Structure 1
Amino acid sequence: MTKSSPGEPVAQPVERARPAEARGNNRASRIGFGAILAVAVVITLLGVTLVFAALRNDQAISAHLGTANAQVDQVLFDRTIIRFETPDGVAHSPENGVLYPGGLSAGQLIRIEYDTTDPELAKVAGRTWLLTLLPVGSTVLIMWLIAGPLLWWLRSKLRAERRASPVAAEAEAPTP
């Protein structure tokens, strides 16, 4: 701070208040930016987790491989229910359905591979975790194609608001 001599006016920083509307828009933009970024990151992490879960399931089945013929009982929106018998004569119908059920229809007979230590874990024979890459990759790509431009637009809007703010402009100005 510089001292002023008596009688010399002291320069006081002038702080102009921003209109309430501008402060509200800035806050809404920051919240929107954070929300969009959070949703995009969560969807990406869920997609990566899904791919690794499919890989882990395939490895578990391969470690204790059993094969059987199964009948498709129901094809629902979220799962495809099958029924098969293990060599010990026990009938199994995995509660969560069969893995990689694309293209199956009710009544169809299919060949499956299952984990002999956990017959609830079954997949259509010949299908692998690689089938999850296209739908998961497409979902993540489309989500970032939407979120990316929105995030860029909100960030540029926030920067423009910060530059236009009288308080920020005075704070950046050099003091004599």
Structure 2
Amino acid sequence: MASWVLLVIAMLVTLEGGVVLTACWWDDIAINNHLTRTTAVVESVTFNRTVIRFTSPEGVEYRPSQGVLYPRGLEEGQMVRIEYDADNPELARVAGRTAALALLPVGTTLLGVWLVAGALLWWLRRPGMPRTARAAQTP
């Protein structure tokens, strides 16, 4: 039973990693379909998001509520080139950065999950280990 629970957890984490990568690619596709480029100023950098401010060609100022995509290395006060979806200015990324940047962190996380899960599955199902409580009670 424990091995099945472990296997299901590892599969769910893998599914979540796939969903994250798919969402990144969908965001990139949306931006590429209505691509607009401009310069933004980085207003704040926190663990979970980097807030930017930019002005559209129409003169409207935007601050995407979820922050900018692929913000690694940005610092508060920095001017940065961005690309955003003209139909949805809430969707902005640092210019030149794509969903490919998500492959390494998601991939290494999944590799770690499966290495740990594999080791635990091997330990739980190693030779000489009873497979079920019933097997342990059988004479």
Q: In structure 1, what is the equivalent of residue 49 of structure 2?
A: 79
Q: In structure 1, what is the equivalent of residue 39 of structure 2?
A: 69
Structure with greater helix percent: 1
When normalised by structure 2's length, the TM-score is 0.92
Q: CA deviation at 1:165?
A: 3.9
Q: CA deviation at 1:38?
A: 2.0
Q: Could you report, residue by residue, the CA deviation over 1:55-89 in whole angstroms, capped at 9, with x for unpaired residues?
A: 11001000000011000000011000000000010
Q: CA deviation at 1:154?
A: 1.3
Q: In structure 2, what is the equivalent of residue 147 of structure 1?
A: 117
Q: CA deviation at 1:155?
A: 2.4
- For these two proteins, the number of residue pairs brought into alignment is 137
Structure with greater strand percent: 2
Superposed, 1:44-123 pairs within 5 Å as 44-123=14-93
Q: 5+ residue gaps in structure 1?
A: 1-29, 168-176
**What do you get for the CA RMSD once the two structures are aligned?**
1.6
The amino acid of 1:76's aligned partner reads T
Q: In structure 1, what is the equivalent of residue 3 of structure 2?
A: 33
Please tell me whether Structure 1 or Structure 2 has the larger radius of gyration of its CA atoms. Answer: 1
Give the fraction of aligned pairs with identical amino acids, expressed as a percent.
50
Structure 1 window deviating more from structure 2 (121-130 vs 34-43): it is 34-43
Q: CA deviation at 1:135?
A: 0.1
Q: Could you report, residue by residue, the CA deviation over 1:85-121 in whole angstroms, capped at 9, with x for unpaired residues?
A: 0001000000000000000010000000000000000
The one of 82, 100, 109 equivalent to 1:130 is 100
